[in-house]
Structure 1
Amino acid sequence: MKSIRILTFLFLALLFFNFTLKEDYKPTVFIVGDSTVKNGKGDGSGGLWGWGDYIGQFLDTTKVTIENHALGGTSSRTFQDKGLWNAVLNKLKKGDYVLIQFGHNDDGPINDSLRARGTIRGIGNETEEIDNILTKKHETVHSYGWYIEKIVREAKSKGAIPIVCSPIPRNDWKDGKVPRNNTSYGLWAKQIADKEKVTFIDLNDKMALEMEKLGEQKVTGTYFYKKDHTHTSAKGAVLSASVIIDQLKESKNSLKNYILKDPKIILPPKKKVFLIGDSTMANNNDTNAVGWGVVFPAYCDTTSIDVINKARGGRSTRTFDHEGLWDEVKNQLQPGNFILIQFGHNDAGAIDKEKFRGSLKGNGDETQEVTLPDGSKEIVHTFGWYMTKFIREAKEKGAIPIVLSQTPRNEWPDNKAERRNDTYGKWSKEVADKENVFYIDLNEIVALQYDALGKEKVKAFFPKDHTHTGLKGANFNALTVSESIKKLKNCSLKDYL
């Protein structure tokens, strides 16, 4: 009797253990592919994302785990040659899923000193023997289909469930249509999926259909950027992921059991670009006095960044600080924000009378005590002192300052557009150099362009006075700022322009 009770206890314990294992089992969705699946480190650098970064938001991650192993620049061949596939294969267990998408890089050279990542076109068994110039190794190169089939078969051997996707479409248009790859990599991916009897997602065609519904004008700049026809923005990556999810819903693949009924898609927070300066940058609510900061957003990717124009007409570095305008901006700064700083037009004003906005000349530490109209005292510093304060306190917040010299006035001494390169432009540059921040000599850059245009054409930029531009002049200056930022070495803001 005792032995029967022991056996019964052991049997029940085994049942409980197996039940617990079954309850605790959580399959993993492994994702393999190129930069359209995970761009860079998957952190949205340059505003670019892959669909593998967002597909997890459509799935119930309390019941399934997501691992995005895609790597930019890889082909079906090099993903395996680099050992990236083996790293996934060694982790695979029965019931896991493997989402597979390659093709964008398979069309490259088979053997060169740059990437050597191409594969033989098609799904055949032909091979090419090479001495790899890049890796210095002898290698047998196979067809695209051979490499995809290898991944599929090896995943199946572990009891995992492969899902093959055709490569996402590029943002190329012809007569209002997006070209398909259904005679090349899309076709070959489908042929392998059919041969191996695994789920195929025609991501190329289905996403192209969605793009065509939106239209080229809306797709470009929102789902893709003008600078890049291959890699998607965050919204483009979500579109790709949503297409895969919709196709899974219509399939017999068990991954559809983990799809959320009402997914909450969270896009990455936008980076912020703050502008501080005077009326030549500010919104003055005057069509004849439009600051370039008003139209600057037109030259930015506003799906990824917000431009916050805090410039204020009539302000110098001194009054921007003394009136608390700087503290208001500083308290909003977050790590990774950008801040464009441009002053000088009003700093030459009176220090101790009239508008009480002048700052001391230069970049020194000298001060002057001033009695204000209300009887209070103010310690006035140099232009450079205030500029340094803005820069240092911005950097303390983790923000990235960009200093600009002031815009030129419509004045033409010696028949040349006005420069201020011996005063405020000079002092701005000295501060930027000392603090090791980005500097744009906007005064000189714009003045050179004014010289080339001539007095009469430039006159149309200044409908009110010799300092303030109208909309046409503001656009001219904003475009110049944008082009100048793009030329700054190692300035990541250019990725958002």
Structure 2
Amino acid sequence: MRHRPALPARRLWLQTSALWGAGLAGLAAGCSTAKPAAAPTPAAASAAPPAAVNTDPRTPPLTLPEPANPALPSLLLIGDSTVRNGRDDGQRLGPVGQWGWGHVLARYLDATRLNTVNRAIGGLSSRTYRTGGHWARTKAFIKAGDVVLIQFGHNDSGPINDTQRARGTLRGTGPEQETIDNQLTGQRETVLTYGAYLRGYIEEIRALGARPVLCTPIPRKRRDEQGRTERGTAAHAGWATAVARETGVPLIDLDTLVSERYDALGPVVVDMLFPRTTPEERVHPNWAGSALNAQLVLQALRAQQLLPEAAFLPPPAAAPADNNTPAAAPLNPRLPTLFLVGDSTVRSAGQNGHWGWGERLAPWLDAQQIQLANHAIGGRSTRTFLREGRWARVRAQFKPGDVVLIQFGHNDVARVGDPAGKQRGSLPGTGPERQAETLPDGTVEPVQSFGAYLTRYVREALDAGVVPVVLSPIPHKDRWQEGRDFPEHAAWGREVAEREGALFVDLTMRVTARYQQIGAAAVEGLFSDARTHTNDAGAKLNAECVAEILRGLPQALLAPAIKASAG
């Protein structure tokens, strides 16, 4: 597993959070009375207006990250909610909530060599980040050799003076300015152009011996008449590009890079990169969308050599060659993929009359909205699916906007070290414990806990911009009437999902509830063996339960792709 930075925010993904970008937005700016003034220089833009004190009483206290190790160089980020959203915890919705790309970017950088410090704030503009005092506080952490990424624009187009947010900037990059009596703060303020504020940040960063890097704003989910993503070259993206050219600072043109990726992926996939809210969300990506944006930032940082190579974490190991597994059908890159990984209760191929629910899920899916890739295989556990390179082969096909369902447990219960366990059991729990077991070929495998294997799957899916959904195992035929089956594995799966930011669904109890509805006699006819494997009818019933689960995922993640009935 790759070395990972310690990210306390991972533990916050499913904790309480209120979307308070709107509250922060009410910091300054609006248009009132225009007054002539001298043309501002970059130095003047950097110095005016002074605002170490936040004068908006409605703005809650802010807790922003600081460099974890002041002895290391830092990559600092300033911007709006598309860089750091709200309290940076996905609004308690995990990967389907709103996220900024700065949060995901930290996952790809080595925290032992570089501090990644995301100081962006939702709802702010290039102007109000300064007038609210946030820039003054961020400057205190900038030192020689640091790199500062700047991405503003989404909130700069608002009114420059009103009683709600007052955050807009004047259009363009020129010397124009307007003096107002700010209706929100009650203070007189001289408002500059967007470009002047950017030049001010650049000048001050350079004065501190650090390196400024401009990012154009990520595009909105908005398409022109030809179906192409609308670019911002005529507004803030174009103006940021002009300032970068004028000042000689590096530019990461996210407006172009992201737009090109959106157009290549197509509208069905792009819709999966945003929360499915009402009204439709067009600005703030979910985890998958922010992962896509972060990957593009990462590529630009590397290509332009803006960070030392040692700061980048290595990619995960590639899958070992496997000449015995038939090549899977190529996936359509313009459709999101629903990946399935698991054991024979998910995929049995009809052997001995056994069928898994994954083999009967396709009739519930709208093939115009999503494609199914069932990589489950009989006899595997979390441990052996990884050891045999199967997970790596699935991971190699991931793209942002995909979803992976993970259901293991039936084979993880085998005793480690017992030859009868076929070297597939995992250790109980979710901790870091390891136990050596010698394989038939003589190699020694350090066996990990069930939760440790799940953690790896979840983290690597999230790194790829894929939403992981952990499912507890389907129940045995002889256990569903005795309370609940798989209590430990369900608890461990839930713990990992909540800690790491995945979604968790108790499939065990969902299927149990259906068994209770139809009764013991009917359940008896759903199995093809004594207690574990379902027949075709059982697989169809379980697939229906899974379809109901998918339709009910938060933020209607897959709802448009799930039919109301099979067929």
TM bin, normalised by shorter chain, reads 0.5 to 0.7
1:204 maps to a residue whose letter is D
Whole-Å separation in 2 of the counterparts to 1:321 and 1:137: 69
1:28 is displaced (CA, Å) by: 1.2
Whole-Å separation in 2 of the counterparts to 1:254 and 1:356: 64
Sort the Cα spacing of 1:113 and 1:339 in 2 relative to 1 into closer, same or farther, 3 A.
farther
Q: Paired residue for 1:72?
A: 122
Q: Does 1:245 align with 2:298?
A: yes
Q: Does 1:308 align with 2:354?
A: no
Whole-Å separation in 2 of the counterparts to 1:250 and 1:206: 13
Contact 1:124 1:143 in 2 (8 A): yes
- Please give the secondary structure, in 2, of the residue aligned with 1:105: coil
1:477 is displaced (CA, Å) by: 7.2
Sort the Cα spacing of 1:308 and 1:190 in 2 relative to 1 into closer, same or farther, 3 A.
same
Contact 2:86 2:122 in 1 (8 A): yes
Q: Paired residue for 2:187?
A: 137
1:254 is displaced (CA, Å) by: 4.5
Whole-Å separation in 2 of the counterparts to 1:319 and 1:309: 14
Q: Paired residue for 2:148?
A: 98
Sort the Cα spacing of 1:107 and 1:96 in 2 relative to 1 into closer, same or farther, 3 A.
same
Contact 1:248 1:256 in 2 (8 A): no
Contact 1:119 1:144 in 2 (8 A): yes
Sort the Cα spacing of 1:306 and 1:26 in 2 relative to 1 into closer, same or farther, 3 A.
closer
Q: Paired residue for 1:107?
A: 157
Whole-Å separation in 2 of the counterparts to 1:90 and 1:38: 19
- Which string of whole-angstrom CA distances, capped at 9 and with x for unpartnered residues, describes residues 439-478 of structure 1? xxxxxxxxxxxxxxxxxxxxxxxxx9xxx9999x989977
Identity within the alignment, %: 31
Of 220, 245, 249 in structure 1, the residue corresponding to residue 271 of structure 2 is 220
1:132 is displaced (CA, Å) by: 2.5
Q: Paired residue for 1:232?
A: 285
1:87 is displaced (CA, Å) by: 1.0
1:238 is displaced (CA, Å) by: 2.8
Whole-Å separation in 2 of the counterparts to 1:236 and 1:122: 28
Contact 2:470 2:505 in 1 (8 A): no
- Which string of whole-angstrom CA distances, capped at 9 and with x for unpartnered residues, describes residues 470-492 of structure 1? 99x9899779x74xx8xxxxxxx
Q: Paired residue for 1:207?
A: 258
Q: Paired residue for 1:51?
A: 101
Q: Relative contact order: is structure 1 or structure 2 higher (C-alpha 8 Å, sep ≥ 6)?
A: 2
Whole-Å separation in 1 of the counterparts to 2:214 and 2:484: 61
Whole-Å separation in 2 of the counterparts to 1:189 and 1:246: 20
Of 189-198 and 145-154, the range deviating more from structure 2: 189-198
Gaps of 5+ in 1: 1-23, 266-283, 358-463, 486-492
2:494 maps to a residue whose letter is L
Contact 2:505 2:549 in 1 (8 A): no
Sort the Cα spacing of 1:208 and 1:258 in 2 relative to 1 into closer, same or farther, 3 A.
farther
Q: TM-score, normalised by structure 2?
A: 0.49
Sort the Cα spacing of 1:477 and 1:58 in 2 relative to 1 into closer, same or farther, 3 A.
closer
1:181 is displaced (CA, Å) by: 0.6
Sort the Cα spacing of 1:110 and 1:338 in 2 relative to 1 into closer, same or farther, 3 A.
farther
Q: Paired residue for 2:494?
A: 333
Sort the Cα spacing of 1:309 and 1:153 in 2 relative to 1 into closer, same or farther, 3 A.
same
Q: Paired residue for 1:62?
A: 112
Q: Paired residue for 2:5?
A: none
Q: Does 1:36 align with 2:82?
A: yes
Q: How does 1:402-417 map to 2 (within 5 A)?
A: none
Sort the Cα spacing of 1:109 and 1:345 in 2 relative to 1 into closer, same or farther, 3 A.
same
2:287 maps to a residue whose letter is A
- Please give the secondary structure, in 2, of the residue aligned with 1:204: helix
1:149 is displaced (CA, Å) by: 1.0
- Please give the secondary structure, in 2, of the residue aligned with 1:159: coil
Whole-Å separation in 2 of the counterparts to 1:172 and 1:54: 23
- Please give the secondary structure, in 2, of the residue aligned with 1:230: coil
Whole-Å separation in 2 of the counterparts to 1:338 and 1:84: 40
Of 121-130 and 234-243, the range deviating more from structure 2: 234-243
Query: How many residues end up aligned between the 2 structures?
Result: 329
Quote the RMSD (CA, aligned, Å).
Answer: 4.4
Sort the Cα spacing of 1:56 and 1:329 in 2 relative to 1 into closer, same or farther, 3 A.
closer
Sort the Cα spacing of 1:319 and 1:478 in 2 relative to 1 into closer, same or farther, 3 A.
closer
Contact 1:57 1:264 in 2 (8 A): no
Of 114, 137, 156 in structure 2, the residue corresponding to residue 87 of structure 1 is 137
Of 37-46 and 155-164, the range deviating more from structure 2: 37-46
Contact 1:173 1:179 in 2 (8 A): yes
Sort the Cα spacing of 1:478 and 1:97 in 2 relative to 1 into closer, same or farther, 3 A.
closer
1:344 is displaced (CA, Å) by: 7.6
Q: How does 1:411-450 map to 2 (within 5 A)?
A: none
- Please give the secondary structure, in 1, of the residue aligned with 2:471: strand
Q: Paired residue for 1:187?
A: 238
Whole-Å separation in 2 of the counterparts to 1:89 and 1:171: 33
Gaps of 5+ in 2: 1-69, 318-353, 371-400, 404-465, 499-503, 524-536, 559-567
Q: Does 1:120 align with 2:170?
A: yes
Q: Paired residue for 1:420?
A: none
- Please give the secondary structure, in 2, of the residue aligned with 1:99: strand
1:122 is displaced (CA, Å) by: 0.9
Whole-Å separation in 1 of the counterparts to 2:542 and 2:112: 56
Larger Rg: 1
Q: Does 1:260 align with 2:312?
A: yes
Sort the Cα spacing of 1:62 and 1:321 in 2 relative to 1 into closer, same or farther, 3 A.
same
More helix by share: 1
- Please give the secondary structure, in 2, of the residue aligned with 1:76: coil
Q: How does 1:319-358 map to 2 (within 5 A)?
A: 319-322=480-483, 324=485, 329-330=490-491, 332-334=493-495, 336=498, 337=504
Of 88-97 and 242-251, the range deviating more from structure 2: 242-251
Whole-Å separation in 1 of the counterparts to 2:313 and 2:542: 52
- Please give the secondary structure, in 2, of the residue aligned with 1:100: strand
1:311 is displaced (CA, Å) by: 6.8
Q: TM-score, normalised by structure 1?
A: 0.55
- Please give the secondary structure, in 2, of the residue aligned with 1:53: helix
Contact 1:173 1:216 in 2 (8 A): no
Whole-Å separation in 1 of the counterparts to 2:186 and 2:120: 25
Whole-Å separation in 1 of the counterparts to 2:287 and 2:517: 45
Contact 1:178 1:212 in 2 (8 A): yes
1:30 is displaced (CA, Å) by: 0.9
Sort the Cα spacing of 1:205 and 1:330 in 2 relative to 1 into closer, same or farther, 3 A.
closer
Sort the Cα spacing of 1:305 and 1:261 in 2 relative to 1 into closer, same or farther, 3 A.
closer
Sort the Cα spacing of 1:469 and 1:190 in 2 relative to 1 into closer, same or farther, 3 A.
same
- Which string of whole-angstrom CA distances, capped at 9 and with x for unpartnered residues, describes residues 144-191 of structure 1? 111111111111111111001101112222323211111110111112
Contact 2:262 2:270 in 1 (8 A): yes
Whole-Å separation in 2 of the counterparts to 1:186 and 1:130: 26
1:200 is displaced (CA, Å) by: 1.5
Sort the Cα spacing of 1:285 and 1:33 in 2 relative to 1 into closer, same or farther, 3 A.
same
- Which string of whole-angstrom CA distances, capped at 9 and with x for unpartnered residues, describes residues 61-91 of structure 1? 4332211101111111111111111111122
